[in-house]
Structure 1
Amino acid sequence: MVVEPQSLSSLSAEQLRSALLSMLQAAADKDQELAFKQTLIDKLTHENALLKRMKFAAQSERFNPEQKSLLEDEIEADLAAVATEIDALAQAQTQAPAPPEKQQARRLPLPAQLPRREIHHEPESTTCACGCQMKRVGEDVAEKLDYVPGVFSVERHIRGKWACAKCESIQQAPVQAHVIDKGIPTTGLLAQVLVGKYADHLPLYRQEAIFARAGLAIPRSTLAQWVGTCGVRLQPLVDALRAEILGHRVLHADETPVAMLKPGEGKTHRAYLWAYAPGAFESIKAVVYDFCESRSGEHARRFLGHGTDKAWEGSLTCDDFSGYKALIASGVTEVGCLAHARRKFFDLHAANQSQIAEFALQQFARVYDIEREVKELGTEQRQTVRQQQSRPILDALHEWMTLQRRQVPDGSATAKALNYSLRRWVALTRFVDDGQLPVDNNWIENQIRPIAIGRNNWLFAGSLRAGQRAAAVMSLIQSARMNGHDPYAYLKDVLTRLPTHPNSRIAELMPHRGQSTGT
């Protein structure tokens, strides 16, 4: 409520009291917002100091050269990411023009032998507002380093200056917004570095060597700074992708271990990369990875919003991991993985040619034959076929398993295989009565497999922030692959459009949106 000073005399006591309370509440809200932002800035500043100490302090002799190189890369990327976040918070808090930049070391010119491509930027019209024809009086040139796999080139962005003699004014095309302000890399080069690190699993010291063979050895510290900044810029897009995934009724979930360094100890401990994707029959193809310090079920609860007023409560396809049990108890519907149940009998048959296992495998095969037939059907048709054909097979299998379990000794491998299916039978067969549910969790296991394969080249994640940055970028890369897009072309397109794209329309850049393919 805004009150003009001259109108105070005309207000009643009740109106004055209401206006005063409104002003006090607005001031309190503003103070609370500023206090929150200052707390966050203090937290990031402390993290920045710790990272610098890790970078410049003596390192443990227990690191081998490759380990030390990977750790330094991640620290550089973390420093760049924290600095970017602090700058954004500081500007949002003060709502004032950015302070003058500190004088930085002069950048060396790009090698003259690299091929150059000139890109001219001129005003849309060279006719002045007064009607005079403007004359070209000069130009500004900015060079950006581009990279097509195996070949460096230089983009020369030439912005002509046009002057009007009558008005004594100068007109010039504005500098194009870039994901790294005043940086030398094009979005093509940034996309190449990200895809190399997170899709091709090439550490930055290897990329440095590859670039050197192409004609320019970019220091890995510079590459790391680019990676850290891009990770911050891409995070809102990953957050939007997560929100859209949580808008679907059926989800898959799985997790895989990843080693993470314990700062200051020179040792690693087991962290986990969790993966979440809409059900195999949902309308979109996407996956979001969540890097966490442990396998605690609290991480799954946090990702799905439990403990908040926006808790997701759909059908979750997962394995028998205890971390999901709290979710099931709080309202999430458990959907079992028939492939896990089948795998128990497959291992049993492979070990001793068990006849019980062989019969069970035959029945599972009949169910999967039906699933292949209904894969392309609509939800209602799929449900009808399952109830008519799969239900009798599963009912007979359950009765057979119950009888067999009474005849095998406790603690035997056969008993364990039977117990797994009998204990989870309701969850394992829930798909029969819901055509939207998948028969198993193979969909998400296929999305996490490339991560597990690439893990052999990681050695470890250098920090929690580095792991979370990797999870974010890999979410976009794998989601682009799922939708048939080239990850390089997709990231290049997104990084080009992101600096000027309205945050309210960030969903337009997600990998499953056709107009954001970059191909």
Structure 2
Amino acid sequence: MRASMRYTARVQNAAATHLPSAVEVAGMSAEQVAALLHSNEITIRAQQHQIDALKHQLEWFKRQVFGSKSERFAPEPDPVQIPLGAVLPVPGQTVEARKAVPAHTRRVPRRDSTSEAADALPFFDEARVPVQVIPVANLQAAELSPDQYEVIGEKVSYRLAQRPGSYVVLKYVRPVIKRLDTQAIHTPAAPAGVLEGSRADVSFVAGLLVEKFAYHLPLYRQHQRLIDAGITVSRPWLTQLCQQSIGLLEPVYDAQLDSIRASRVKAMDETPIKAGRVSHGKMKTAFFWPVYGERDEVCFPYFPTRAGAHVREALGLEPGAGAVLLSDGYAAYASYAQKTGLTHAQCWAH
């Protein structure tokens, strides 16, 4: 028994450096084999723990060097530890030369925001911005009769104010009548909406799209604002409204793209966009191919890749006589110009 315990201790101490051969294992007792297996299991656990720790450190260093800025963490540098990648000595800071400048005074701008004259200058488009006129009473004339003073002029001041955005519910009241001669009942039909069977007015649908795509206000924030205003609707309903209203705009998009295709001079480019998920936490990279026409029209055809075939799908194979395509140096545009016979004008900015 003592010999077995001594052998077990020797195995545990030397397991990481020595493994018994098959002949040695054959001469062991059952207790010795069990002790050897237990020791090997402990060694494997310790090595696996060390491997996991090293993997974690390696992933951290990868994020610091190659990761995005949001993944990086820059702790306070250790004065003893050399920074990662610092193999050259840091050059000393040079002291900038300085010279004395005599004191001087500056002229006050004419349009000072605190001056009374600046308040009288309109800073907005009066044709687009509503103006509410607020008369200010003259306290000196309050105690005088009209025959004791005369108004010789007026001074105007402007202040920029804000009214919180609000929602309005349109209530259509339709009278139901009964003709006395025929006993027939008549009810006028409800006004038709832009989306059949929907409670959303066209103004609400337009505002929903403008705030989402022009001012980048997500639907969930618009939903929160609706709730704060006392309107209870479901969050998926806003998504359905967007999808249905975008479907109504597709004929407008198709007509505009046809107009761009008919232009003699067109400009085109491609830009990546994250659309769809590849896996958990990772977005798929797709491409917008914006195309610009002679009438200042812009369309953004969407394609999943950057393949050159998408240029033909977006512009067609009949560009017209004397057509010119303005683009960068991407080979797909040159290939399209060669196949269709149009003039390829490369952009000077690339």
Please report the TM-score for the alignment, with normalisation by the length of structure 1. 0.34
Higher relative contact order (CA 8 A, sep 6+): 1
Larger radius of gyration: 2
